[in-house]
Amino acid sequence: MKSLRAQLRDVISQEMVQDAAHDMGHLDRVWANARRIAKDEGNANLRVLMAAAYLHDLVNLPKDAPNRKDASRLSAQKAEPILAQLGFSADEIAATAHAITAHSYSAGIPPESAEAEILRDADRLDALGAVGIARTFMVAGTMNRALADHNDPFAAQRPLDDQLWSIDHWHLKLLQLPQAMVTRKGRKIARKRARLMLAYLEQLAKEMDCDLPEHWSNLLR
């Protein structure tokens, strides 16, 4: 497994277009999350899971790209010949490709294997917690999106709009991820990380001299 991981990281360094939020660090963290969940689940092929974790963003399209929802399918397609070169069997390649294809939030493809379920949760965990806070603002900065609406930072009296305000993305997507987790361990970790994000928002509201509306904390109840 150590040899396979080194090979996969070498492939990524040569083949993947990396950005601040989707780099080798992200892939290492997704693999660490996946390994942690798999230990609890106990029914995953770790060879397939590792390959899927490192190759899931092989085709890394910008968040605002019109074909963003196709990124996971394109990543799976690009991964197949690489996996064959690494000695994966046809069944292993198919299993890895499915896990990669089904991990995407925007693609909306149901995970149909243990590896696919674990990878999906592992990738989404990296959008939560301390790392998730940092990644939110890195991505928002590249897209020139403001932190919040200074007139109504937490959408107390306005519709949420994460195309304009980066904090709104937390309500519309990130803080809803815990309830969408498909593994028990993933759900447990996600809830803990989301509570940290909510605590950050409460402090942010104090520093902005306003209150955090109840509809934010209700997301974690």
Between CA 148 and CA 27 the distance in angstroms is: 29
When the candidates are 1.10.3210.50, 3.40.225.10, 3.30.43.10, 3.20.20.140, the CATH number that belongs to 2-112 is 1.10.3210.50
Strand partners, 165: 146
Torsion of CA 26, 96, 173, 140, to 10 degrees: 40
Residue 8 confidence (pLDDT) above 80:
yes
Per-residue pLDDT band for 142 (boundaries 50, 70, 90) equals: confident
Give the tens place of pLDDT for each residue, 153-197: 999 999 999 999 999 999 999 999 999 999 999 999 999 999 999
How much is the mean pLDDT over the chain? 92
pLDDT band at 64 (very low <50, low <70, confident <90, very high): low
Concatenating the DSSP letter of every residue in the chain gives -HHHHHHHHHHHHHH----SSSSHHHHHHHHHHHHHHHHHH----HHHHHHHHHHTTSS---TT-TTGGGHHHHHHHHHHHHHHHTT--HHHHHHHHHHHHHT-TTTTPPP-SHHHHHHHHHHHHTTSHHHHHHHHHHHHHHTT-BS--TTSTT-SSS---TTTBHHHHHHHTGGGHHHH--SHHHHHHHHHHHHHHHHHHHHHHHHTTSPPPHHHHGGG-
Instruction: Give the pLDDT mean for 9-16.
Output: 89
Tell me: pLDDT of 118 over 70.
yes
Domain 129-220 coded CATH 1.10.3210.50: yes
Write down the pLDDT at residue 169.
95
pLDDT in tens, 68-99: 778 888 999 999 999 999 999 999 999 999 99
Give 27 or 16, the one with higher predicted confidence.
27
pLDDT in tens, 29-63: 999 999 999 999 878 999 999 999 999 998 887 66
pLDDT at 106 over 80: no
Q: What pLDDT does residue 65 have?
A: 67
pTM for this one? 0.92
Residues of the chain within CATH 1.10.3210.50 domain(s) are 2-112, 129-220
CA-wise closest residue to 128 among 198, 185, 214: 198
Query: pLDDT above 70 covers what percent of the chain?
Result: 98
